[in-house]
Amino acid sequence: MDLELPLWFEIGSLVVLTLILVADLLIILKRPHIPSTRESTLWVVFYVTLALIFAGLMWIFAGGEYAGQFVAGWLTEYSLSIDNLFVFVLIMTQFSVPRRYQQEVLMVGIIIALVLRGLFILAGAAIIEQFSWVFYIFGAFLVWTAWRQAFPGGDHDSDVKQENFIVRLLRRTIDISEEYDGAKIRTVVDGKKMFTPMIIVFVAIGVTDLLFAIDSIPAIFGITTSPFIVFTANLFALMGLRQLYFLLGDLLDRLRYLHYGIAFILAFIGVKLVLHAMHENELPFINGGQHIEWAPVISTWVSLGVIVASMGVATIASLIASRRERLALAPDAASATGSGLEAGTGPTARTEAAAAVVADEKGTPPTVDQPPAPSDR
């Protein structure tokens, strides 16, 4: 049965959410600053509460099944979006983006992600409607992605060269200044108009968002085939990402087992997609083109339970391991205070190391060269 919602609800929801995003962006542009922990917490709570209210409205207008699909899809995209944060940390650090302007960079990244994911959703919905066997491909892709997530170390040279090529091409095509000029993309140096390094930061963010969209969209289509639910789940997951970036801060480096939880979720959804494809099978060379009736159908609520349990176990295990490590290092804390900073073992260094691992898993280069000085061009 297809999702049937009042047209006014769908249009009204998208209008309200768009206005909230625009208002959020205007606040950042008007008052660039480093948000406090309290401010970030309130915003994250606000967006989470908003998502739960939306799920409640979905329950009223469409029933519990579709409300469950939204919650499961939102949690899946939210957990995958935390992966984005690791790479965002890396990009911000590599390009030395001033912290007070990082909010604007993140907001631009979120807008780019929404546009890219919207295009992927439209394409995915059209393909699924015409070719049900595409679930076999989606499922296999997610299982492969889960393996790569859990056991990184594959050869990403081609992806690295591709992004480096994009950045090098940008640098050779346009003039880029050596210094930032606030959050501006354009500046004037010695009477000459030039782009600032911010333009390359946006390119790096955009390419990263594209890579993450390739993983996340097949995953949520394994939970629901409703384009409206898919898009709103992505929208709610991305809306609180900027505040979550500042709220988590150095906590990111402590979530060492998070990638295992994400990998398990991707593998589970991949298997679910393959089973769904088998149950709806129409390929003539599989079971004579007949449905495979013994293939089980995994319910939305089972999926939701697996997603919550996976992220909960991964987070709790990470925090326990991190606490044990800190207790074990406590006797040497005094001597490590001086030498640890020199050796690059502080929280920031560990966060960058964790970000580099995620970047490698996603095929995103851990470093992208800074714009050269004008004399080197």
| Structure tokens given for 121 | 């959703």
Going from the C-alpha of 245 to that of each of 242, 321, 370, the distances in angstroms are 5, 22, 23
Average pLDDT of the segment spanning 314-328: 84
Is pLDDT above 70 for 357? no
Cβ neighbours for 179, distance < 8 A, ≥ 6 positions apart: 196, 197
Average pLDDT of the segment spanning 316-334: 77
Q: Model confidence at 155, in pLDDT bands (50, 70, 90)?
A: very low
Average pLDDT of the segment spanning 233-258: 76
Going from the C-alpha of 72 to that of each of 42, 219, 234, 280, 304, the distances in angstroms are 23, 11, 11, 22, 5
Average pLDDT of the segment spanning 246-272: 79
Dihedral angle of Cα 188, 194, 200, 203, to the nearest 10 degrees: 110
Angle, helices 37-62/64-94, rounded to nearest 10 degrees: 150
Is pLDDT above 60 for 318? yes
Average pLDDT of the segment spanning 200-221: 78
What is the pLDDT, as a whole number, of residue 57?
92
Average pLDDT of the segment spanning 199-221: 79
What is the pLDDT, as a whole number, of residue 51?
92
The proportion of the chain whose per-residue pLDDT surpasses 90, expressed as a percent, equals 4
Average pLDDT of the segment spanning 298-321: 86
Q: What is the CA radius of gyration of the chain?
A: 22
Cα separation of 204 and 47, whole Å? Answer: 26
Candidate from 66-70, 136-140, 168-172, 190-194 with smallest mean pLDDT: 168-172
Candidate from 37-51, 243-257, 273-287, 341-355 with smallest mean pLDDT: 341-355
- The string of DSSP letters for 180-200 reads --TT-SEEEETTEEEE-THHH
Residue 107, number of CB atoms within 10 A of its CB: 18
Candidate from 160-164, 213-217, 290-294 with smallest mean pLDDT: 160-164
| 3 state DSSP class of 129 | helix
Q: What is the mean pLDDT of the chain?
A: 76
Average pLDDT of the segment spanning 123-145: 82
Average pLDDT of the segment spanning 283-294: 77
